Structure 1
Amino acid sequence: MDATAAPVDTPPVGSAFPPELHAGLPSGVGTGTFSTARHTTGYLSAGRSGDPVLLLIHGWPEFARSWVRVLEPLASAGFHVVAPDMRGYGTSTVHPQVGDYSTEEIVTDMIELLAHLGVSEQSRCVVVGHDHGAPIAWNIATHHPELLAGVAGVCVPYMPPGAALTDHIDRELYPAAEYPYGQWDYLIAHLSLAEKIAEEFDADVPGVIASIMRAGSPRHLERRAPNASVRSRGGWFPDGPPRREPDPRVLDDTEYEALVASLQHTGFAAANAWYRNNRANAEYAAANATGGRLTVPALFVHARYDIVCTTLTTSLPEPMRRAADDLDEAVVDAGHWVAQEKPAELVAVLSRWLRSLGLAR
């Protein structure tokens, strides 16, 4: 079966959203919903609706609330900050086919949402993406540059059409004979073990989130990422997740319960489907409007202790540097979950860059 035509388990029709999703939100953070004939997007927002839009796109396996610690501080810089639940997550539509989670479909969701928020060529916005949300942000920049005043990626650099992650692996840490895909082995596992991984994650969502969402540290860079051995292990956690308690440096109890409830509601098949459209995504990326270049002002935020996106000790950012007309870079001393682990530092980095563009107070 063509992977893009494979079915995705969806919540029962009419099933209510778990109350934990929005429980205990800060007073300055509101909720909203925008629907078209093709998709419904739920979102969180902060700031005044008349201010310039700052769109925050989350990655795997998160949801809008993953940005909650930065929403109000960024709004205070003069922005209408909007963090959507991406398709397959939170309060947004869980679509039935793997092909529904292609980059083109997801970018279209965001373009429709931006139009709803009043973004146009005369009223441009800034888009920030983290993890798998970063490729969505980069693709918005290369397909719809006329709508953007700037674009930023956190952890995952821009990869121009034709560039390959596997060309930038630390082969001292990941010998090719044993680790042909290096730390990116998990991406292949999402294709070859798709159903098994989704079932494994759905069987113990609390344990999965407690195990993967941990703070970074220098010692993590001295060992191989567990992502590099997913296929040889036969799954991420074939013997069950190793941790039961969340890391309070990343998720407090309320945020942990909200994320767990969200993923228990939607299931992991939809979230994982983002990784299963490689051919369609490559074709879409190649059909860009800029010749594959980042023509709008861009910022890349390195996470110093990210053991998968090791952008400070490998050549991974080089294709982005060659393809960008106006690129700034900054480093946050955090692991992969930057907005949760070091929200103040991320706000400071984004605010400095936005001020340098004359966009922030």
Structure 2
Amino acid sequence: MSDPASEPWTHEWATLDSVVLHYVEAGDPDDPLVVLLHGFPEFWYAWRNQIDSLAAAGFHVVAPDLRGYNRSEKPSGIGSYRLDRLVNDVVELVDHFEAERANIVGHDWGGVIAWAFGHRRPDRLDRLVVLNAPHPEALERELRSPAQLARSWYALFFQLPRVPEAILERTDGWLGALLRTDPANPAAFDESDIERYEHAIARPGALRAAIDYYRAFGRSQLRRWFGLAESNGRHPTIEAETLVIWGEQDSALGTELLDGLDRWVPDVRIERLPEASHWVQNDAPERVTGLLGEFLR
């Protein structure tokens, strides 16, 4: 595994109100801000193929480790990973760079946060990009389908207390096996990449925090379904220009989740990549990087 000191990226920490986030930074701080949000079970390195190209295209690029992941702080308690707190982390990160607005790009869980950012803080959003992460209204609709419910088995499993961590911690190489077999492109992750991913998730508290994202989301959904939530769960329309990039070979998320997306996001462009899986920016790095540069320009 390479030494961060030998990398071309700048590693920094942002002390926010409730958490300290580690992030990687590239580009001119005076350029438009682009925040890259990773998914499960990843970290900032998920964007290694996009950071430099976006910086060269004239953007100030920031790729944080989300709270709980890798080198960022790992607050205890499931409530620390509620969606409102995750969105607030991004707002405070934008504040940290003294930017009025930002382009938000998210994959997987980072995409869930990106959707929520668009709903809750449109005043801080320039353009929105989501990669293989479902809009919440589409997800609720499709979870009524046995096919999508079966694909989401792992999210249900993660609701169990302590058991998922115990099993995964005792299963040597589970993450490496996933990264070697699930992507559509066999070259998506090399052995050095896999070593870095395994090292990041093995940091004390990281696996528990990553699974607590699912637990917090599950609890919020149950509260809404049983009428205990403060709102009825409907989401305001996202008016920002939005790009959705979707690897169609996603084993966990069906393409049906894209149906009717313009009902909730009128100014949406959908790019389907039939050759890519859930790990879309790694399966098709040049294609994804090109789409990002074109859309954000």
Whether 2:118 is the aligned partner of 1:141: answer yes
Contact 1:45 1:83 in 2 (8 A): yes
The count of corresponding residues between Structure 1 and Structure 2 is 287
Cα 1:256–1:165, aligned 2, differ >3 Å: closer, same or farther? same
User: How many percent of aligned residue pairs carry the same amino acid?
Assistant: 25
Whether 2:11 is the aligned partner of 1:44: answer no
Shift of 1:258: 1.6
SS of equivalent to 1:138: helix
Whether 2:144 is the aligned partner of 1:190: answer no
Tell me, which stretches of 5 or more residues in structure 1 are unaligned? Answer: 1-18, 175-179, 218-246, 355-359
Whether 2:220 is the aligned partner of 1:280: answer yes
Deviations 1:109-131 (A, max 9, x none): 111111011221xxx21101101
SS of equivalent to 2:129: strand
Q: Which residue of 2 aligns with 1:22?
A: 4
Q: Which residue of 2 aligns with 1:8?
A: none
> Map of 1:76-91 to 2, 5 A cutoff?
76-91=56-71
SS of equivalent to 2:13: strand
Deviations 1:258-288 (A, max 9, x none): 2111111134111000001234366588678
Cα 1:300–1:286, aligned 2, differ >3 Å: closer, same or farther? farther
Q: Which residue of 2 aligns with 1:353?
A: 295
SS of equivalent to 1:181: helix
Q: Which residue of 1 aligns with 2:265?
A: 324
Tell me, which stretches of 5 or more residues in structure 2 are unaligned? Answer: none
Deviations 1:163-195 (A, max 9, x none): 33313x4x5xx4xxxxx922112211111x341
Partner Cα separation in structure 1 for residue 53 and residue 212 of structure 2: 32
Deviations 1:264-322 (A, max 9, x none): 1134111000001234366588678xx521111111111021121121xx2x1225321
Provide the alpha-carbon RMSD of the alignment: 2.4
Higher-Rg structure is: 1
Cα 1:162–1:58, aligned 2, differ >3 Å: closer, same or farther? closer
Q: Which residue of 2 aligns with 1:303?
A: 247
Partner Cα separation in structure 2 for residue 135 and residue 74 of structure 1: 22
Shift of 1:352: 2.2
SS of equivalent to 1:210: helix
Contact 1:158 1:319 in 2 (8 A): no
Shift of 1:330: 0.6
Whether 2:53 is the aligned partner of 1:73: answer yes
Partner Cα separation in structure 1 for residue 215 and residue 86 of structure 2: 13
SS of equivalent to 1:328: strand
Cα 1:142–1:272, aligned 2, differ >3 Å: closer, same or farther? same
Partner Cα separation in structure 1 for residue 71 and residue 63 of structure 2: 12
Amino acid corresponding to residue 116 of structure 2 in structure 1: N
Q: What is the TM-score of this pair, normalised by structure 1?
A: 0.73
Partner Cα separation in structure 2 for residue 45 and residue 335 of structure 1: 27
Contact 1:159 1:320 in 2 (8 A): no
Contact 1:98 1:273 in 2 (8 A): yes
Whether 2:187 is the aligned partner of 1:249: answer yes
Partner Cα separation in structure 2 for residue 285 and residue 22 of structure 1: 44
Amino acid corresponding to residue 74 of structure 2 in structure 1: V
Contact 1:87 1:94 in 2 (8 A): yes
Q: Which residue among 172, 187, 211 is the counterpart of 2:177?
A: 211
SS of equivalent to 1:160: helix
Contact 2:242 2:269 in 1 (8 A): yes
SS of equivalent to 2:133: coil
Whether 2:65 is the aligned partner of 1:58: answer no
Contact 2:32 2:59 in 1 (8 A): yes
> Map of 1:218-237 to 2, 5 A cutoff?
none
Runs of 4+ in 1 over 6 A off after TM superposition: none
SS of equivalent to 2:202: helix
Partner Cα separation in structure 1 for residue 129 and residue 231 of structure 2: 17
Shift of 1:159: 2.0
Q: Which residue among 95, 99, 103 is the counterpart of 1:119?
A: 99
Q: Which residue of 2 aligns with 1:9?
A: none
SS of equivalent to 1:54: strand
Deviations 1:310-342 (A, max 9, x none): 21xx2x122532111200011232111122222
